[in-house]
Structure 1
Amino acid sequence: MTEGDFEVLARKTEGFSGSDITICVSESPSLRFFFRNKHIMIDLGTGNNNKINWVMKDKQEFINIVETVYRGAKKGRSLVIAPKDYSTKYRY
């Protein structure tokens, strides 16, 4: 991290303990989807249909996933197929 990154982190985490900041920085966040109080699972090709816990390439990738989940949930589906296969067999 650069000095500027630390300054931004300090401004955005005012009142956080050192432990809180360590968790935010070192643990990857998980993203889960809910629609009308119902958990919507997404088949990403990873074997874990409950959550996304990696950094996405860009905003558009996130938007594509959210739109896919929303369309499926609106149709009453509790499991939707991701717009892209995220399994490791397709990563080089």
Structure 2
Amino acid sequence: MTTRQHSFVPAASVGTASARPALSADPWAEIETAIEDLRDALESIDAALPGLVIDLPSVMAGHPLVNLGSANATALKKIAAALRQSQK
């Protein structure tokens, strides 16, 4: 049986020496704000991730994560196109 481990590394720190960001005083509020930011961005490209929810065990463990699941092919294509466009 394989155990899955999640690690959170923000995009800004990818490729740097820092392995994990410092937690804010209220990680719950921080993760809720991040979810709302992502929902707003997805809405701007007419896409949604219905499974966008806080992973409660990770919050209790002190390293909040978000489940991004339940996207259909259309939403994934829109997200991919928006990401490609942002790299130009």
TM over 0.5, yes or no? no
Q: Give the number of the structure whose alpha-carbon radius of gyration is greater.
A: 1
Structure 1 or 2: larger helix share? 2
